[in-house]
Structure 1
Amino acid sequence: MKEKTSINLRKSMNRGSVEQETKIHDKPGEIMKIATSDVVSIPPSKSIKDTAKVMMEHEFRRLPITDPGSGKVLGIVTVMDILDFFGGGNKFNIIEKKYEDNFLAAINEPVREIMSRDVISLSSKSSIKEVVDLMLAKQIGALPLVDGDDKLVGIVTERDIALSFAGELDEKAVHDYMTTKVFTTTPGTPIESACKIMVRNGLRRIPIVGGEADISKAAKKLLGIVTSTDIIRFLNAKELFDNLNSNAASKVLETKLSDIMVKDAVIAEPEDSINEICELFKISNIGGVPVVRDNDVVGIITERDILRAIKNL
């Protein structure tokens, strides 16, 4: 495992701290042992602007939308939905005609306008195996958990499951589970364009490459990384939601990725174990890293890839 800030994971790992069976739990109700039961949710009337602020305040990638009276799940909104909106994707097209491209008026629309209504949820009595199978089948990163009255009682994420299995994946290597088709971009890409790339391809992060005169080499040399959360955090820091007029907002969206990318990127190598990746995600509070060999990006490994490894236990 390599990181430019030199974390020695092999020495820091504590395999004895995690009590796991040697395969996925198939016992009903096991999922609540690793799920978050103190769930932050928002009503459908909350503005898009305030929803983005709540996400950054708590560093959440998604928020369940619930009925204030019954507590039932009405939908879910993710960081990708917010990026879709800011990047002028389908989410923004839903409401832009109302305001004739008045960006500030649009971001004060209720979040119900961009939330996903066909939210998939599971019973709080579900097993870990059921959750893993459903997440992989539907390609979703989190599942709201509900009681017998369909009231929200918890939420479980890919990260929750991946970290709970740290210590059980020693024999599995990164090269067996990493994604080799990696979407990359360059430091000069504007934020708005990056949003479109991420939304169209379902990406939470994009490695930034370049820095070589030889174009064939520049397309693989890692310079940094930008995540969906990095972009939303930057927009919050610029007080885009509160203080800018439409023209100024457009200017912020033209900011180059070189201004916000993480240059000291955490990386993995193909021969690293999945177990080390779990520990890396926990230590660094991240959900995916580029896989690099000889300074070239050869893949990317994420929490979803770890779920595939867990499924094969």
Structure 2
Amino acid sequence: MHRNGQVAVKRGDRLLKMRGKLDRGPIEFKSHIVQQEGEVMAIATRDVISVPPTQKIISAVATMTECGFRRLPVTDAGTKKLRGIVTSGDIINFLGGGDKYRLVSVRHNGNFTAAVNESVRTIMTAKPQTLSCDAHIVDALQIIVGKKIGGLPIVDHDGTLAGILTERDVLRVLAADHSPLFVEDVMSSSLKVTAPDSPISAVTKDMTRFKFRRLPVISNDVLFGIITATDIMRHLGNREIFARLITGDVAEVMNLPVRTLMAGNLFTTTKKKPINEAAREMLQRNIGALPVIDNMRLVGLVTEFDLVRAFSEE
């Protein structure tokens, strides 16, 4: 990983000249950015949507779905001080994959309709890992890569939410560097997969147990598609789930085959593709992973996290 100050300065100088969320024009890094803000604020999202702790779970999920978010900060309504964060992983856990499902099974005796009307504080991750406004990219990389966290709220000196930085934001900067690596050098080859007719409940349990955001879907040794935590969350967020709720029992929904939730287009890559090109394709298509195909067979999966880690370790 790049840890020395010179690398941070060069990357900071380049990102400040990038057109995008914040076009500052050519700014000499050392003499200006230290007096203003840290590098992370130059590439972070500043106008952050958040919800109060009292927001209903179903409303928070609807917001995440409508905005295309994987994570949603939870802040006090008046002060905007950060209280927690709810992620697609928390939603998958709540849907039956882990300990948050107790809200459905124990508190509401399996009544899913009642459970999704609880406040979001009941399933959020309290006191999440954060970055300060004056943090540098290397600070963010240490957390993203070291702790495998895909998004970091940014707070000011009194804990007020000031922005959010994701691994995709970092990838936009790092992918501009040339790398000699290919997809096969960074992909995961030992994959957990599922089948098109697997029930949603089995998929949420696998995602929670193995801490995966996505699973390839295989049918007769052929890649059928890929199911993501966002796909499952979208099913809940756009309220299609309620059309199938007859008795209010979550089992009616969670026994549906996972193929009913999968998104349309499937994009893939190859082992010999340079990781710069793979990163560019992910960013252009707004996707978080690419299945790797060789001789018409699935041989691996490369994710945003894999690419961020690879670029940062060079």
TM-score range, shorter chain: 0.7 to 0.9
Structure number with greater CO (CA < 8 Å, separation at least 6) is: 1
Q: Distance in 2 between matches of 1:97 and 1:249?
A: 13
- Residue aligning to 1:130: 139
The question of 1:228 aligning with 2:229 is answered yes
Once the two structures are superposed, residues 171-210 of structure 1 have per-residue CA deviations (whole angstroms, 9 ceiling, x without a partner) of: 2211111112211011110112111111111111111112
- Residue aligning to 2:305: 304
Q: Distance in 1 between matches of 2:182 and 2:156?
A: 37
Once the two structures are superposed, residues 277-307 of structure 1 have per-residue CA deviations (whole angstroms, 9 ceiling, x without a partner) of: 1111122110111111112211111111111
Q: Distance in 1 between matches of 2:64 and 2:263?
A: 20
**Amino acid of the residue matched to residue 30 of structure 1?**
E
Once the two structures are superposed, residues 111-142 of structure 1 have per-residue CA deviations (whole angstroms, 9 ceiling, x without a partner) of: 11111113111111000011011111111111
Q: Distance in 2 between matches of 1:270 and 1:178?
A: 8
Q: Distance in 1 between matches of 2:306 and 2:247?
A: 39
Q: Distance in 2 between matches of 1:143 and 1:202?
A: 17
Alpha carbons 2:150, 2:167 under 8 Å: kept: yes
Where do residues 26-45 of structure 1 align in structure 2 (5 Å cutoff)? 29-45=38-54
**Amino acid of the residue matched to residue 203 of structure 2?**
A
Q: Distance in 2 between matches of 1:67 and 1:237?
A: 25
Where do residues 1-313 of structure 1 align in structure 2 (5 Å cutoff)? 19=14, 29-87=38-96, 89-94=98-103, 96-211=105-220, 218=221, 221-241=222-242, 244-247=245-248, 249-262=250-263, 264-313=265-314
TM-score, normalisation: structure 2: 0.84
Q: Distance in 2 between matches of 1:117 and 1:131?
A: 20
Q: Distance in 1 between matches of 2:192 and 2:201?
A: 16
TM-score, normalisation: structure 1: 0.84
The alignment partner of 1:206 has SS state of: strand
Once the two structures are superposed, residues 25-63 of structure 1 have per-residue CA deviations (whole angstroms, 9 ceiling, x without a partner) of: 997601111100000111110111111101001010001
Q: Distance in 2 between matches of 1:102 and 1:39?
A: 33
Q: Distance in 2 between matches of 1:34 and 1:143?
A: 12
Question: What do you get for the CA RMSD once the two structures are aligned?
Answer: 2.3
Deviation at 1:20, TM superposition (A): 5.4
Q: Which runs of 4+ in 1 moved over 6 A?
A: none
- Residue aligning to 1:215: none
**Amino acid of the residue matched to residue 45 of structure 2?**
T
Deviation at 1:257, TM superposition (A): 1.9
Structure 1 residues 128 and 246: CA distance shift in structure 2, 3 A: farther
The alignment of Structure 1 onto Structure 2 pairs a total of residues equal to 285
Which deviates more from structure 2 when the two are superposed, residues 228-237 or residues 242-251? 242-251
Structure 1 residues 61 and 252: CA distance shift in structure 2, 3 A: same
Deviation at 1:245, TM superposition (A): 4.0
Deviation at 1:230, TM superposition (A): 1.1
The alignment partner of 2:149 has SS state of: coil
Deviation at 1:241, TM superposition (A): 5.0
Q: Distance in 1 between matches of 2:167 and 2:285?
A: 16
Alpha carbons 1:169, 1:274 under 8 Å: kept: no
Q: Distance in 1 between matches of 2:225 and 2:122?
A: 34
Identity of matched residues, %: 37
**Amino acid of the residue matched to residue 199 of structure 1?**
T
Deviation at 1:81, TM superposition (A): 0.6
Q: Distance in 1 between matches of 2:312 and 2:149?
A: 15
Once the two structures are superposed, residues 74-118 of structure 1 have per-residue CA deviations (whole angstroms, 9 ceiling, x without a partner) of: 111101111111125211114532222221111111111111113
The alignment partner of 2:125 has SS state of: coil
